[in-house]
A and B are shown apart, each in its own frame.
Chain A
Amino acid sequence: MTSVLTINDLCVDYLTPSGPAHAVSHVSLEMAQGEFLAIVGESGCGKTTLLFAIAQLLTYPGRVTSGTILFEGVDLTALRPEELRAHRWRDISVVMQSAMNALNPTLSIGDQLADACRAHTDWDDDKVAARSAQVLEMVSIDPIHLKSYAFQLSGGMRQRAMIAMALLLEPKLVIMDEPTSALDVVAQRSLMRQIQDLRQSLGFSVIFVTHDMSVVSHFSDRLAVMYAGEITELGATRRVFDEPRHPYSQGLMEAFPSLLGAPRRLTGIAGNPPSLVDPPPGCLFAPRCAVAIDVCHLVAPELVDKGGHATRCHLVNPVVTSG
């Protein structure tokens, strides 16, 4: 498979009065054509910042301080705004978290779809209308709703309308920022199935960010766990769920109650994430880690790939002392 997106050593800082906060530090990722990559983490772990960097939507005080984002070999960080416009929507589209705020309340759904077509294509009105109806049908919305406004749709329909907009120009990569977080479980599962079906029939790649890892457990190919701006574990979704290696991933797996099996007491993970302005030396998770050893508090671990399952932890990858 060819790679669509290659991120090399990406760092993003937010300038704050007390110094730069390292929201994303040294993230490297590669995505294949047609792949579904899920990024999970708690609030403040940098997952949304990473998405915004990929989509080049960061605004002051956030900025990319180093690294490259190659989309089909083109470095997005080096493009001028008008060059970026050629890629936006046609190649990379974004589905935002809150459909209620992302849809324009004063325009009908059809007008908003047409607006995107006019900005990015030279299609005539018939083609625009035909394609708009087609994408709505793809997400199980009756094209009669082209004339509807956002407030006339249910939460699930709004979120599906957002996905229809993202698919309008057949992008190669669709970036989704918690599209299911405002939905009920039944609507949530229906939306995930729909994303899965569309991806398989249309062949686009998906980067899906969520704080709730159980949502993606059955749908993503690979799973990246982020903590304090770093990727702590990355591997095939099933393997990360079945045998999590990083203590943080293990803690997350133990943190949500189940409907199965005998009821038992869970503990969660004590403590809070570290300051991103003044991070602790060594492993960023060490202050909350129940199994940390001395070296964890001194030396920052590297992300080491073993057989397609990468982990950033001294216990998994023991430090080799020189000499």
Chain B
Amino acid sequence: MAEILRVEDLSRHFRVGGFRARGNLHAADDVTFTVASGEIVALVGESGSGKSTIARVLAGLYPATSGRVVFEGQVLGRHSSRVTRGHMPMVFQDPFGSINPVLRVGHGLLRALKLHRPDIDRAHRVAEAVALLEKVGLTPGDDVITRYPHELSGGQRQRLGFAQALASRPSLILADEPVSMLDVSIRIGLLNVMKELRDNEGVSILYITHDLASARYVADRMIVLYAGRIAEEGQTEEVIATPRHPYTQLLMSAAPDPRLPLSDDVEHSDLGEPPKVIDPAPGCRFAPRCPLARDECRRTDPPRVEVTPTHHATCFAVAESWAST
């Protein structure tokens, strides 16, 4: 598969604090990954892991502190063109805050078509917009296009978000927690829409989520982030079946699942306190919570270890167990 997005050593820091206690918040540090065409990649992490920051840097909402982003062979700069942006639209988390309530459903779609699809003349735009709505399951499209956003439910609005993103015929959609505000019974429908868009339209999706189970459901590959760094990445089923990084293992055991008995093997004392990312100490960021941490974890950054050619973990303990076998 052809690579369409390459992120190289991407870092984004924010200055925080006042006059006396000035600090540097490391939202993302040296993040490197690729997305191939027609692939769904999940960026999984808890709040504060830097997953949304990475999406926002990709969307051009913030510049990167260092590192570079290569999209369709072009390095994205501070002034990326509207054309590039059109090829990588974003679907936001909040379906109630991201659609203008006073304009009809058709407005956003027609506007996107007008700006990004010069090949479609005015007469054919409405037909194209209706077709887009039907691709995301908003049927009948010619009725939905005349509605106002308040007439749609949360799930329908989020489908509209995908239709709008699809209007510019993108090669990659950035989906930032698109289902986390929806009810459980509706989420799965939207996840299925994402899979259909991948299979039928050939679009890649960077799916940003905190929910490991939904990432497993839609994604071909997953990247687990902790405190702004990649902890583990690989083919979804490989990571789920054999998680190597202690943090991925903790996440797996904490995910509530009524089909499983309650696991008791994990440390009772882990209160889920978030990591310190303001002027972080050197070494592995997970070390303070890690049951396997040793001295070197607190001194030096852990290496990226190849578990299999399609599965990597950033951890000293994994490196050691691999060296000994």
By a beta-carbon cutoff of 8 Å, the part of chain A in contact with chain B is 42-43, 140, 154-157, 183-190, 193, 211-215, 217-218, 241, 251-253, 255-260, 263, 265-270, 272
- In the complex formed, the residue of A with least CB distance to B258 is A217
Q: How many angstroms from the CA of A281 to the CA of B282 in the assembled complex?
A: 65
A154 with B237: CB separation less than 8 A? no
Q: How many angstroms from the CA of A187 to the CA of B186 in the assembled complex?
A: 25
B217 with A257: CB separation less than 8 A? yes
> Can you name 25 A-B residue pairings with CB atoms under 8 Å?
A42-B183, A43-B154, A156-B272, A183-B272, A184-B46, A186-B46, A187-B272, A187-B273, A189-B256, A190-B272, A193-B268, A214-B258, A217-B257, A218-B258, A218-B261, A251-B185, A252-B185, A255-B185, A256-B187, A257-B191, A257-B214, A259-B257, A260-B260, A263-B217, A268-B186
- In the complex formed, the residue of A with least CB distance to B152 is A272
- In the complex formed, the residue of B with least CB distance to A215 is B256
Chain B proximity of A291: nearest CB distance (Å): 16
Q: Is the interface of A mostly helix, strand, loop or mixed?
A: loop
- Which of the residues A183, A190, A212, A256 comes within 8 Å of B270, measured between beta carbons? A190
Neighbouring B residues of A269 by C-beta, 8 Å: 185-186
User: Is B254 interfacial (CB 8 A cutoff)?
Assistant: yes
B188 with A259: CB separation less than 8 A? no
Tell me which residues from 241 to 276 in chain B have a Cβ below 8 Å from any Cβ of chain A.
Answer: 250-252, 254-262, 268, 270-274
* Given A185-B254, A185-B255: A267 touches B188 (CB 8 Å cut-off): yes
- Which of the residues A186, A217, A265 comes within 8 Å of B192, measured between beta carbons? A265
Q: How many angstroms from the CA of A218 to the CA of B262 in the assembled complex?
A: 7
- Which of the residues A156, A187, A188 comes within 8 Å of B256, measured between beta carbons? A188
Neighbouring B residues of A256 by C-beta, 8 Å: 184, 187-188, 213
User: Is B98 interfacial (CB 8 A cutoff)?
Assistant: no
User: Is B65 interfacial (CB 8 A cutoff)?
Assistant: no
Neighbouring B residues of A187 by C-beta, 8 Å: 271-273
User: Is B57 interfacial (CB 8 A cutoff)?
Assistant: no
User: Is B221 interfacial (CB 8 A cutoff)?
Assistant: no
A155 with B47: CB separation less than 8 A? yes
Q: How many angstroms from the CA of A258 to the CA of B252 in the assembled complex?
A: 11
- Which of the residues A42, A154, A241 comes within 8 Å of B184, measured between beta carbons? A42
- Report the tally of A-B residue pairs with Cβ distances under 8 A: 118
Neighbouring B residues of A183 by C-beta, 8 Å: 272
Q: How many residues of B are counted as interface, with CB atoms below 8 angstroms from the partner's CB atoms? A: 40
User: Is B125 interfacial (CB 8 A cutoff)?
Assistant: no
User: Is B212 interfacial (CB 8 A cutoff)?
Assistant: yes
* Given A256-B213, A257-B216: A268 touches B273 (CB 8 Å cut-off): no
- In the complex formed, the residue of A with least CB distance to B264 is A193
User: Is B189 interfacial (CB 8 A cutoff)?
Assistant: yes
* Given A185-B255, A186-B250, A186-B251: A268 touches B216 (CB 8 Å cut-off): no
- In the complex formed, the residue of B with least CB distance to A259 is B213
User: Is B31 interfacial (CB 8 A cutoff)?
Assistant: no
- Which of the residues A140, A241, A272 comes within 8 Å of B271, measured between beta carbons? A140
Chain B proximity of A251: nearest CB distance (Å): 6
B184 with A255: CB separation less than 8 A? yes
- Which of the residues B237, B252, B261 comes within 8 Å of A263, measured between beta carbons? B237
